[in-house]
Amino acid sequence: MKTVDFKHARGPDKLRVYAIGDVHGRLDLLQEMHRRIYMENEKSPPFDWVVVHLGDYVDRGLHSCGVIDFLINGQRKNHRILALAGNHEVGFVDFLNTGDAYGVFARCGGRQTGLSYGVNIDFNNELSVASGHEALKRAVPNSHLNFIRRLPRSMVFGDFFFCHAGIRPGIALERQSQEDLIWIRSEFLDDQRPHSKIIIHGHTPATEVEIRPNRINLDTGAYASGRLSAIMIDGPNKTFLEATV
């Protein structure tokens, strides 16, 4: 298998690729990052460009509904706005389907997502979970559900493979488990072997962008840190961007 390291990896010819880490309801930071991206494109216009969002748009932060609206509207206006599924989007839909009071949505920031849709759920109260589940099903627009359900788990551009969480080392990229792509952690993060592509991912918060020969982690805990991170890949050139407010 042919492998590549970050230093020598290249993006596609005539296509600038941006990727943005985990947003988690921070609409303000996402808007600022898009402003930064458009400024970069004005400063040095590319032949063409795309923006890949790496998932986890909902939970923890205060404006999950607004983030989904922003992405839907962005895609309607411009085919260059791309988005991948994260485990929190899957958990959100799972809760809407089942009302599970112990899933990732309930345990990891779903209350804030509910509030962004005007629904207050106390996950320590069975009656509140039951009534909140029904209210949230009514409150979430079909357009939001359709957007989430259609999100792909991975994309490839040039020497780069984009996904939310990572890959299972030793398995070909085209054979990766759909669950691993949004959930995997230590088996991927601790493996230093080169892959056939550089893996651009989020999912595991870090204090700074993690730059490794075989992977780049763009999750800098935006909902708590106030810092949303991105990478700009332009041929052989790789630049990191940060949005703060």
Domain locations in the chain as residue ranges: 6-91+152-243
Q: Give the residue from 38, 55, 51, 46 showing the smallest Cα distance to 92.
A: 55
Question: Tokens standing for 211?
Answer: 């730059």
H or E segment to which residue 233 belongs? strand 228-234
C-alpha to C-alpha distance for 104 and 106, rounded to whole angstroms: 6
Contact 220, 209 (CB under 8 A): yes
Residue 1 is predicted with a pLDDT of: 81
Q: Give the residue from 58, 112, 62, 56 showing the smallest Cα distance to 87.
A: 56
Residue burial 79-94, b: 16+ Cβ < 10 Å; e: rest: ebbbbbbbbbbbbbbb
Question: Tokens standing for 189?
Answer: 């993060």
Q: What is the pTM of this model?
A: 0.98
Contact 149, 93 (CB under 8 A): yes
Instruction: Give me the CATH code for the 6-91+152-243 domain, please.
Output: 3.60.21.10
List the pLDDT tens digit at each of the 245 positions of the chain.
Answer: 899 999 999 999 999 999 999 999 999 999 999 999 999 999 999 999 999 999 999 999 999 999 999 999 999 999 999 999 999 999 999 999 999 999 999 999 999 999 999 999 999 999 999 999 999 999 999 999 999 999 999 999 999 999 999 999 999 999 999 999 999 999 999 999 999 999 999 999 999 999 999 999 999 999 999 999 999 999 999 999 999 98
Residue 49 is predicted with a pLDDT of: 98
